[in-house]
Structure 1
C-alpha cells in the first residue's frame, strides 16, 4: 500500500519545496486578508461585505513574538501519552504585505535560543504525524538561510 501525504487541515496550504505557500482569503471590497481562511463572509466589521477570494500568502515574514511549549497540553488537546513529550518553539510571524500575524511551530531543530524578534523566517512544509499509511502535513516557520 502506498504512503499518502495528506494536509492536516485541507485548504490552508499548498505545494512542496520552494512552491510551498500558506493560503488565505482576501475580501474584494475592503482588501482584508484572513488566515486561517474565511469562506463565508468578511470578518472586518467596517466592510460592506464583499466576496472572498483565495490568495497565496507571503512565503516570508518577520518574527513578531515567540515562546516554547515545555509541557504536554492537558485534555481536551490530543497528544499520545505513550510517546515522550518533545518541547517545540511556537512563532508568531508578521506578514507585512498582508498586514496579519500567523502562528506556527518552528521547524524541527529550531529552538527559542535560535530566534529573535524581527528575524526573517519562511514557511516550509512540515509533518504533524505519521502512521503506517499517511503522513499528515502542516507548515513550519524556519529562519531564512537555514538548510532543511
Structure 2
C-alpha cells in the first residue's frame, strides 16, 4: 500500500513535492499595517499597533535567512512528538532563523546530518522540505534549515 504524504501542520508550508527551490513557509500579511506572521494568523492581525480593518493575505516567506540561535536536543521529547522508545536516541539540532525581509525569527529543525558544529550565529541557511515521521499510512512532512554552501552562495550572487 502506498503511503500518503501529509504535512504535519496544514497550511504552514507549500507542498513538499514542488521543486526544492520553490519550497516556502507560508505566512500571512495584514493589508492595513503590513505585519507578517508565522505561524499564519487567520483570525485577525496580531499587531497591537495595527490601525485595524485590514485583511490577512497569504504570503510565501523568504527561503533564506541567517542563524539567530541554535541548540541541540539531547533528550527524547514527550508526546505528541513521535519517537520509538526502543530505538537509540539520536540528538537533533534546532535552529532559530532570522528572516530579514519579514523582520521575524522562525524556529525549525536543521536538516538531517546538520549538527551544532556546522552552525554559527549569522550562518546563512536555506529552507528545505523535510520528513518528521513515517508510519504505515503516512509520510509526515515538515520543513528543515540547511546551511548554504559557498558554491550556492556564489551561484546566488
TM category, shorter: over 0.9
Give yes or no for the alignment of 1:129 onto 2:129. Answer: no
Secondary structure of the residue that 1:13 maps to in structure 2?
coil
Deviations 1:59-103 (A, max 9, x none): 000000101101112467553322322101100000000000000
Give yes or no for the alignment of 1:29 onto 2:36. Answer: no
Runs of 5+ unmatched residues, structure 2: 152-157
TM-score under structure 1 normalisation?
0.92
Counterpart of 2:116 in structure 1 is 112
Deviations 1:22-81 (A, max 9, x none): 000001011110000010010100112211000000000000010110111246755332
Query: Alignment partner for residue 64 of structure 1, among 65, 68, 77?
Result: 68
Classify 1:59/1:76 alpha carbon distance in 2 versus 1 (closer, same or farther; 3 Å). closer
Q: Which runs of 4+ in 1 moved over 6 A?
A: none
Q: Kindly indicate which of the two structures has a greater share of residues assigned to strand.
A: 1
Q: Which moved more, 1:40-49 or 1:134-143?
A: 40-49
TM-score under structure 2 normalisation?
0.87
Classify 1:3/1:73 alpha carbon distance in 2 versus 1 (closer, same or farther; 3 Å). closer
Q: Kindly indicate which of the two structures has a greater share of residues assigned to helix.
A: 2
Aligned residues: 147
Give yes or no for the alignment of 1:4 onto 2:4. Answer: yes
Counterpart of 2:154 in structure 1 is none
Cα RMSD (Å): 1.8
Runs of 5+ unmatched residues, structure 1: none
Secondary structure of the residue that 1:21 maps to in structure 2?
coil
Counterpart of 2:155 in structure 1 is none
